[in-house]
Amino acid sequence: MSVQAVLYVLAVILIAVGALPVRPRGLSLPLLGAACAVLAYAWPVITG
CA–CA dist 22, 3 (Å, integer): 29
- Ordered by start, the domain boundaries in the chain are 3-47
Taking only the tens place, the pLDDT of each residue in 5-45 is: 999 999 999 999 888 888 777 778 889 999 999 999 999 99
Residue 47 CA to residue 45 CA, distance in Å, equals: 6
* CA 40 vs CA 15, 26, 30: distances in Å: 14, 24, 15
pTM of the model: 0.82
